[in-house]
Amino acid sequence: MVAKKKQPLRKCVVTGEMLPKKQLIRIVRNKDGEVFVDDSGKKNGRGAYLNNELDVIKKARKTNALNRHLNTQVPDELYDELESKVGNNDAG
């Protein structure tokens, strides 16, 4: 009998849903205070996860959810990057 490998679950900071890590986008604040999208999911720093949907990202921008979870000011450029990334996923 082959044991099934567990899928790591993470909580979206906007919706509160527990989802498989691969369905989420990780945003990281490192020691230097830089905030960026972590495509590998393995970079060092404080991480927050967002559902890979455009309306969730818009809600995160509106409610400043990432600012609270990462304890820093998240630049608008990051939200623009996330929206374009998710927008490309929806089209494809």
The CATH number of the domain holding residue 79 is 3.30.1230.10
**Kind of pairing, strands 18-20 and 35-38?**
unpaired
Report the domain count for the chain: 1
Domain that holds residue 76: 9-91
Residue 1 lies in a domain: no
Residue 26 lies in a domain: yes
Residue 32 lies in a domain: yes
> Could you report the per-residue pLDDT of 5-54, keeping only the tens digit for each?
888 999 999 999 999 999 999 999 999 999 999 999 899 999 999 999 99
Residue 2 lies in a domain: no
Q: How confident is the model at residue 91 (pLDDT cuts 50, 70, 90)?
A: low
- With 70 as the cut, is the pLDDT of residue 92 above it? no
Residue 3 lies in a domain: no
Residue 4 lies in a domain: no
Residue 53 lies in a domain: yes
**What is residue 54's predicted lDDT score, i.e. its pLDDT?**
95
| Contact residues for 91 (Cβ-Cβ < 8 A; gap 6+) | none
**What is residue 86's predicted lDDT score, i.e. its pLDDT?**
87
CB 50 within 8 A of CB 16: no
Residue 56 lies in a domain: yes
